[in-house]
């Protein structure tokens, strides 16, 4: 059962036990800060970690509350997905899409400070990410699966904001469509990470040894690099 901590500065913190966790992991989302903890972790240990990380947690919370404005200067430019907004002459929004690329043509009178417009633009962009991810990611996963002899049962694309991917005990893999916002080598790292779980379901030494062998000994380096990115636009 989740443990809820109400903090005057940080708001709600949701503490969840994760049998696969080896340390405390904090994830800041719009509704709360989620804390994954290993089994038998005491509340005092969690509270001490919160105090040690308070300034960083507060900064991430405040940043989340001020999302980047999507306007004519907004760009997504990654290896697998490009997006731009341009001003047009029509009085309505238009979209031009092809695999891996999207352009949104905006009316000259568009008010990008309008909250409803921002919400709509985010939905449009995320839907484009979803459509592209469903076409791009499964073949890439299958290629890595065949190359390294790590078969999986199925793959689903979802909108997960808490994790880039997951793998069940039945070898069913879930991938967040936000993966398209990553550099190609980090996408492959996440896919290999989940494929390794088809053989090793925990994050024990055998798992990291397997992943290390598939990434040229760079699994921890790539893991650290991945933390610089977020599952959001």
Q: Which of 71, 72, 81 is nearest to 181 (CA)?
A: 81
Name the DSSP class of 179: G
Strands 33-37 and 25-28: antiparallel
Can you tell me the distance from the alpha carbon of 46 to that of 52, in angstroms, rounded to the nearest whole number?
A: 10
pLDDT in tens, the chain (233 residues): 789 999 988 989 999 999 888 999 999 887 789 999 999 999 999 999 999 999 999 888 877 766 678 999 999 999 999 999 999 999 999 999 999 999 999 999 999 999 999 999 999 999 999 999 999 999 999 999 999 999 999 999 999 887 899 999 999 999 999 999 999 999 999 999 999 999 999 999 999 999 999 999 999 999 999 988 888 88
Task: Supply angle C-alpha 49, 190, 172, rounded to 5.
Answer: 100
Q: Between 184-196 and 219-226, two packed helices, what is the crossing angle to 10 degrees?
A: 120
Name the DSSP class of 13: E
Is the model's pTM score more than 0.85?
A: no
Predicted local confidence at residue 66, as pLDDT: 62
Token digits of residue 26: 């904090």
Please report the domains of the chain, with CATH numbers, ordered by start residue.
3-65 (no CATH), 75-131 (no CATH), 133-226 (3.30.2010.10)
Can you tell me the distance from the alpha carbon of 143 to that of 80, in angstroms, rounded to the nearest whole number?
A: 16
């Amino acid at each position: 059962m989740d443990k809820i901590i109400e903090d005057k500065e940080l708001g709600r913190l949701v503490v969840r036990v994760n049998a696969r966790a080896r340390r405390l992991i904090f994830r800041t989302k719009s509704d709360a800060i989620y804390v994954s903890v290993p089994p038998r972790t005491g509340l005092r240990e969690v509270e001490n970690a919160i105090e040690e990380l308070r300034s960083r947690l507060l900064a991430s919370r405040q940043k989340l509350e001020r999302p980047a404005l999507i306007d004519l200067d907004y760009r997504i430019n990654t290896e697998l997905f490009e997006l731009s907004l341009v001003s047009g002459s029509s009085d309505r929004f238009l979209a031009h899409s092809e695999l891996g690329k999207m352009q949104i043509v905006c009316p000259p009178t568009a008010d990008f400070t309008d909250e409803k417009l921002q919400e709509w633009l985010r939905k449009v962009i995320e839907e484009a990410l979803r459509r592209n991810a469903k076409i791009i990611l499964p073949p890439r996963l299958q290629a890595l699966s065949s190359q390294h002899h790590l078969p999986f049962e199925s793959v689903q694309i979802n909108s997960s904001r808490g994790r880039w991917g997951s793998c069940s005990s039945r070898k069913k893999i879930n991938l967040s469509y936000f993966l398209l916002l990553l550099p190609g080598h980090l996408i492959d790292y996440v896919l290999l990470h989940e494929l390794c779980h088809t053989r090793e379901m925990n994050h024990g030494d055998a798992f990291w040894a397997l992943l290390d062998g598939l990434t040229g000994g760079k699994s921890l380096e790539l893991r650290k690099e991945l933390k610089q990115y977020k599952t959001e636009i």
